Amino acid sequence: MVEPLKVGLAGLGTVGTAVVRLIDKQRDALAARCGRPIEIVAVTARSKKKDRGIDLKKKRWLTDPFALATDPDIDVFVELMGGDGEPAKSAVEAALATGKSVVTANKALLAKHGMTLAGLAEKSGASLNFEAAVAGAIPIVKTLREGLRGNSFHRIYGILNGTCNYILTRMEQDRLSFEECLADAQRLGYAEADPTFDIDGHDAAQKLSILASLAFGLKIDARAVYVEGIRTISLADLDAASELGYRIKLLGVAVKTESGIEQRVHPTMVRKDSAIAQVMGVTNAVTIDADGIAPITLVGPGAGGLATASAVVADIADIACGTRTPPFGRPISRMSVSRKAPMQRHEGGYYIRFMARDRPGTAATIATRLAEQHISLESIVQRHTGDRPPANGRKRTPEPVPVILITYATSEDAVRKALAAIKRDRVISGEPQLIRIEKN
């Protein structure tokens, strides 16, 4: 009789209860696949009384996550409490320090303390698995850590936040404003009451820092990620993008450049016929540009109880099967420091939208300022809003007209300088909109 793998589970929210159910349902299949049964022997959560619709009678109940993490009778500590502070941090650290393997879905903890945790795991020989921390059920961590071990990478980018993708999708498909779509997302449970973390790009940045670490051997550091959210994206931008053959997505991008690995999260124009542009609603996707071969894209559910639980269970099964790998795919001694992306040196195409004052000389001024910065244009779209005389019969003050520019590859520095000069020249009204184009 083979000894079962004994699991202690901390956190019985949506994901935790789904993990209990899934391990129960897949008991036989998992035992056959791993050569030994997986058994949740002890659990902890904030409230013992809450009815979660799962049978916990045969499992020990501990009140202290730290005690569970160091319990001599468990082999694996599964951390589903969340948060980058206590009790998750100390509990995970204690488990790893005592040689117990850890499975976690906690991207915030990894983004902040990933290297400390990896160090503890390396020292004690424990596993630290976190498939569920990025892109839910999509096996992107395993793919980068093991599946593509033979490749080196040029770039990795993805739709890592379902809330933002849902909002952008609804705006485009139903012609609604950002605010209306956000309210809908909140009603449907896709966005928190305080949506800042999602819509300002911080959730995607944490996930990107994990992927960049796996792909490029960077010491994980979410603070090195340049972050912009989707609050400023308007229907006018989505329409202009569509007309020019693009779609706007909030992408996380980690890319090898001459000055190191650039990590950034921002609204991005992607070609409408690319795989990533087809990804709609709360779905996540990651594209991997490995050296010398065509891109590989993984698409799937990025959140949800069962989707996340399936990643957690796969991680536990890996431990039961004896699969071993350094947490970030290589020893810490082989990892390099993340450097803050120097966005002023970012090179690429840009989408620029502004309202130009409708008077003689405006076009010449704008063209001159762009030329001064050696910016070439791929396309210009300018639409007069029409020359209807004002209703009151008085002489019309010309309304500003929307102008959309698509530049060829240039530097962000050049674009910002040109726009600052154009603003000083007072030929545009309001703030220009700037969206980076990602070649794909």
User: What are the residue numbers of the active site?
Assistant: 207
Mask for 296-335, x = binds its own copies (CB under 8 A) = xxxxxx--x-xx-xxxxxx-xxx--xxxxxx--xxx--x-
Query: Which residue in this structure is represented by tokens 């951390």?
Result: 79
Question: Given candidates 14, 186, 278, 365, which one binds its own copies under the rule CB under 8 A?
Answer: 278
DSSP calls for 58-84? TSEE-S-HHHHHT-TT-SEEEE-S--S
d(CA 103, CA 124): 15
The one-character DSSP state at 336 is E
The answer to whether the beta carbons of residues 197 and 163 sit under 8 Å apart is: no
Cβ-based nearer residue to its own copies, 39 or 131 = 131
- Could you tell me the smallest distance in angstroms from the CB atom of residue 283 to its own copies? 7
The answer to whether the beta carbons of residues 186 and 239 sit under 8 Å apart is: no
Query: Which residue in this structure is represented by tokens 């799962």?
Result: 54
Cβ-based nearer residue to its own copies, 132 or 341 = 132
d(CA 89, CA 326): 19
Cβ-based nearer residue to its own copies, 317 or 406 = 317
- DSSP E strand boundaries for 275-387: 283-290, 296-301, 336-337, 347-356, 377-382
Q: CB under 8 A: which stretch of 71-79, 107-115, 186-194, 292-300 binds its own copies?
A: 292-300
The answer to whether the beta carbons of residues 319 and 127 sit under 8 Å apart is: yes
Cβ-based nearer residue to its own copies, 129 or 411 = 129
Binding residue count for its own copies, defined by CB under 8 A: 59
Question: Given candidates 283, 362, 407, 433, which one binds its own copies under the rule CB under 8 A?
Answer: 283
Q: CB under 8 A: which stretch of 73-81, 90-98, 142-150, 399-407 binds its own copies?
A: 142-150
The residues facing 435 across adjacent strands are 351
Q: Which pairs with CB-CB distance under 8 Å and at least 24 residues apart come from 176-182?
A: 176/235, 177/234, 177/235, 178/230, 178/231, 178/233, 178/234
**Binding status of residue 169 toward its own copies by CB under 8 A:** no
d(CA 169, CA 161): 12
**Binding status of residue 14 toward its own copies by CB under 8 A:** no
**Binding status of residue 138 toward its own copies by CB under 8 A:** yes
Question: Given candidates 32, 236, 363, 364, which one binds its own copies under the rule CB under 8 A?
Answer: 32
Question: Given candidates 4, 6, 13, 26, which one binds its own copies under the rule CB under 8 A?
Answer: 26
Mask for 196-225, x = binds its own copies (CB under 8 A) = ------------------------------
**Binding status of residue 150 toward its own copies by CB under 8 A:** yes
Neighbour tally for 226: CB within 10 Å:
18
Strand 428-437 relative to strand 260-271, pairing: parallel
Neighbour tally for 344: CB within 10 Å:
12
- Could you tell me the smallest distance in angstroms from the CB atom of residue 29 to its own copies? 7
Neighbour tally for 51: CB within 10 Å:
5
**Binding status of residue 37 toward its own copies by CB under 8 A:** no
Q: CB under 8 A: which stretch of 75-83, 119-127, 150-158, 387-395 binds its own copies?
A: 150-158
> Contacts with its own copies in 330-359 (CB under 8 A)?
330-331, 334
The site for its own copies (CB under 8 A) is made up of 22, 25-26, 29-30, 32-34, 131, 137-139, 142-143, 146-152, 273, 275, 278-279, 283, 290, 292-301, 304, 306-307, 309-314, 316-318, 321-326, 329-331, 334
